[in-house]
Structure 1
Amino acid sequence: MAELKYIPGFGNECASEDPRCPGALPEGQNNPQVCPYNLYAEQLSGSAFTCPRSTNKRSWLYRILPSVCHKPFESIDQGHVTHNWDEVDPDPNQLRWKPFEIPKASQKKVDFVSGLHTLCGAGDIRSNNGLAIHIFLCNTSMGNRCFYNSDGDFLIVPQKGKLLIYTEFGKMLVQPNEICVIQRGMRFSIDVFEETRGYILEVYGVHFELPDLGPIGANGLANPRDFLIPVAWYEDRQVPGGYTVINKYQGKLFAAKQNVSPFNVVAWHGNYTPYKYNLENFMVINSVAFDHADPSIFTVLTAKSVRPGVAVADFVIFPPRWGVADKTFRPPYYHRNCMSEFMGLIKGHYEAKQGEFLPGGGSLHSSMTPHGPDADCFEKASKAKLAPERIADGTMAFMFESSLSMAVTKWGLKSSSCLDENYYKCWEPLKSHFTPDSRKPAGPN
């Protein structure tokens, strides 16, 4: 595979043209009477036309044929994609899933779209408010099929296997410990090279952005220059048997046929693009005295709600770092939260769950449901010598956190064989250390 090229930056006004067609970008205007190379001009808008300049999202695409050239959409098999949050009764329990099982290609070929499984979510697509969490499990490439989402943005977190993603803006190679965002309305197709698994955070009506840094200052967390945007690439390809365009609209899947590849954009410019990011580039901010800073210091991307400081969803990671806090129980503390917290593991072992929380699995702690370190972690950390130590080396855990109260789907609670019925037992060995006759705490502290 030829090395793919990228443009650095996040949310910036960018421009790119396939080097096979120099001068494909019009000069001086967006929509000339005749575009260079006799291309068609098409605008893709990710925001209302009248949004303030700072939040206005749009890109101009210069393509061989406009995307309107397709047959009518028809409903197709929905598989395990749903946005019906009333399939099963609510469940406030701590939930954990073992690694989600990838179908064997020898038994059934499953591509990215047919391998989508909705795990949980909240809100309403039609009012553009909410989110969904999906698991993708696939073993074959999409071929002459592409997908676009009319409902929201996809933040894709691969856990196993590389994804070669063809988009209207160019190609991206995304592998474990990287993420990518395909924004609403953007067509894409995914090639895989082996059994592939990962997580998706979908948000409706808002876009992901970098969190404000506040007292942190100008530098820290994820830096804009480390986000990469694909360079323009096109294919002028007729598809005699028909190319299938799959659309997710109001939570349902539809398909339409067309005679050409949708990846026929020769040049583009704008600030509404797909992008990817390597999690190793995250600059960790942490406590250097005592106690814990809130986990919001690990936020990579946020999708804000209309309430200041409250997110529809945050994407948070727990990367390798130094632990130096003195007089402190260093693992995550026991906690009840007004937010919903879904955790996944890309690789390694999460510091607070050394047992059955495994790469490719996940856990959900719903609003105000208590959670925290298992019994083994508590005992070890309470007695540990508090010297500077490396935390999470060889590990990458993450969290999708939301202010919305999420419902779990029928697939997540009933149909998946991966639900861990014994999750609650990891806390059962916890015992009282209460010493009412002494104010001195037990242990080395």
Structure 2
Amino acid sequence: MTWLDLPADTLFGITNLPYGVYSHGSEAPRCGVRIGDHVLDLAAALAPDPAAEAFAAPTLNAFMAQGRDRWSAVRARLVELLTDEAHRAAVEPHLRPLAEVRPHLPFEVGDYVDFYASEHHASNIGRMFRPNTDPLTPNWKHLPIGYHGRSGTVVPSGTPIVRPRGQRKAPDETFPTFGPSRRLDIEAEVGFVVGTPSALGEPVSIDAFPDHVFGVCLVNDWSSRDLQAWEYVPLGPFLGKSFATSVSPWIVPLEALEAARIAPPPRDHTLLPYLSDTDNWALDLSLEVRVNDQVVSRPPFSTMYWTPAQMLAHMTVNGASVRTGDLYASGTVSGPERDQRGCLMELSWGGREPLKLDDGSVRTFLEDGDEVTITAVAPGANGTRLGFGEVTGTVLPAR
């Protein structure tokens, strides 16, 4: 139990302690940890530990690079500071009300990779675009499919999203036209942040996943379906994906998610050894997607075919290195039911089945002014539940 006065059902109790970067008043951005509706100034609270200087920085990168032993030691110290009444007088002055701080992008992004790990999502997309064939491509259940995204357009939650412009060609058009995207979409995803780097030429084995991944966040990989459809043959996503990817402000430590670990779904094929599951690194996260504050979907991350450990192993099996601050995401999270689909492309079935909102309006894809919010919860230690905050963004007209 913590000495803070927290509601019994808080999603940000002592079993969570997610990290972020914030600014308070005229102070420069610095690292903090969320506890209830407060943020703890880590550099001040952990002083005089010399290593605490890493938290006075405007990103979590310096701390994340220190590795798993340091992550565990800091977490243990924070639990001690926040549960032992003897530390209250020293720690309490360094708590900032959440309502008074401004969150920032929590880490400097290195590389960004986006996967395609949901069988339900991939199957739905296949049924829409390849109706008379197997919805999954022949390689899909043998390896986690992904693509390299644009790290420079990863933005913090709350950043407005300008509708992208580009080439698009409808099926009934002879030639492409140029203009604002007509099919702007969301993708509700879960992201994984690399802390400990790896050496070039040395793959990261599947069992080394917790040695390299620092924590988990929420991701909205905004997508222009019409730009994407025209450009992606033969190489894959480019301008239809690269204009913006939003991330939540809080990084839940991997160590906090031990109670959320579950077995992955049954496999249809024997996997190659480097992808063979040795630990249960599927995660029981429950996502919620709201458009203009109306819940439109509740995707379950527990149904994902590929685990984050398998994604990291595949991403590095060719010898590609990872760096501190690298972000990789799951791809759209979708479940087997209609109200579990994690993007509007699926929810409206390619625009053929418009989604009805409570205000009487309908959506096939996003309109200017729409606000999208993604949240998630997971089981925590001792029967608690953990929150991930939210990742949100409002669509602005094309410029």
What's the TM-score, normalizing by structure 1? 0.23
Whose helix proportion is higher, 1 or 2? Answer: 2
Whose strand proportion is higher, 1 or 2? Answer: 1
Q: Which structure has the greater CA radius of gyration?
A: 1
